[in-house]
Amino acid sequence: QVQLVESGGGVVQPGGSLRLSCAASGFTFNTYAMHWVRQAPGKGLDWVAAIWFDGNNKYYAGSVQGRFTISRDNSKNTLYLQMHSLRAEDTAVYYCASGFCSDVSCYAEVQGSWGQGTLVTVSS
Amino acid sequence: EIVLTQSPATLSLSPGERATLSCRASQSVSSYLVWYQQKPGQAPRLLMYDASNRATGIPARFSGSGSGTDFTLTISSLEPEDFAVYHCQQRRYWPLTFGGGTKVEIK
């Protein structure tokens, strides 16, 4: 079955950097779009970034554009999120999620499977 | 960016009752509206896509409707495991956006 395991979270000072990883298994990673979605403590979901199956298209939320970079290594079945210039408001659980395929079609923009998340805390 | 407004913020109901959740978009997203369910301490789970299509394994008591700017998620008869937070998301435009969520709690 699909498994997504995030790592790399932790405590970082404002202005610092962090790289998150998401190890994928149980599906053909190199055929699926991938996403990062975050959730601040006690708040709703906040979509962060997406990358197409081949890495050629990337999309970002306005709040992270220019500070975060999404990437993937299909040879390692791994998704990454490089985060720079971190702010207190970036504190959240960061989830990695895959696109979704039904029996008849695939939907890159839909988050079909999710990892358990990794907590990023930005604090001095 | 598209703003999604979910209402009510909290819905207090008893098992067996019908739940009706609303999601309104700031402009038309056609039928490209997705619903997720999230239980405490867990990751979200895909529930419905493109307004009215149930994801794999989702029971038939869940149904979705709407198009344009107004969407509804209905749970016909609440089971104990349905008490959770429900999030809507539009996939029509980048950046993708979520609503604020509706919590369905036990009355």
pLDDT at A58 (0 to 100): 98
> Tens digit of pLDDT for each residue in A87-111?
999 999 999 999 999 989 999 999 9
- A92 DSSP β-pair partners: A120
Residues of A in contact with B32 (CB under 8 A): 109
| Chain A CB within 8 Å of residue B34 CB | yes
> Tens digit of pLDDT for each residue in A3-20?
999 999 999 999 999 999
Q: Given B43, B50, B53, which is nearest A114 (Cβ)?
A: B43
> Tens digit of pLDDT for each residue in B30-58?
999 999 999 999 999 999 999 999 999 99
Name the 3-class secondary structure at A25. strand
Average pLDDT over residues B63-84: 98
Contact A44 B36 (CB under 8 A): no
Nearest to A28 by CA among A59, A74, A95, A80: A74
Instruction: Find the residue in A nearest to B100 (Cα).
Output: A44
Most B CBs within 10 A among A46, A47, A59, A63, hence the mutation to make, goes to A47
Contact A59 B32 (CB under 8 A): no
Most A CBs within 10 A among B42, B96, B103, hence the mutation to make, goes to B96
- Pairing of the two strands B19-25 and B70-75: antiparallel
Token duo for residue A41: 């403590």
- DSSP assignment of B36-102: EEE-TTS--EEEEETTTEEPTT--TTEEEEEETTEEEEEESS--GGG-SEEEEEE-SSSSPEE---E
Query: What is the distance between the alpha carbons of residues B65 and B51, in angstroms, rounded to a whole number?
Result: 6
- Measured from the Cβ of residue B72, the count of other Cβ atoms closer than 10 Å reads 18
Query: What is the distance between the alpha carbons of residues B74 and B66, in angstroms, rounded to a whole number?
Result: 11
Name the 3-class secondary structure at A124. coil
| Chain A CB within 8 Å of residue B62 CB | no
Query: What is the distance between the alpha carbons of residues B45 and B50, in angstroms, rounded to a whole number?
Result: 15
Strands (E), A15-91: 18-25, 34-39, 45-51, 58-60, 68-73, 78-83
Contact A46 B95 (CB under 8 A): no
Nearest to B86 by CA among B52, B18, B31, B39: B39
Residues of A in contact with B96 (CB under 8 A): 35, 47, 50, 59, 109
pLDDT at A83 (0 to 100): 98
pLDDT at A61 (0 to 100): 98
For residue B81, which phi and psi values (nearest 5 degrees)?
-80, -5
Query: Which residue is it, tokens 């490209």?
Result: B32
**Average confidence score pLDDT of chain A:** 97
CA angle A95, B82, A22 (to 5 degrees): 15
Residues of B in contact with A109 (CB under 8 A): 32, 91, 96
Q: Given A62, A110, A112, which is nearest B95 (Cβ)?
A: A62
Q: Å from B79 to nearest chain A CA?
A: 23
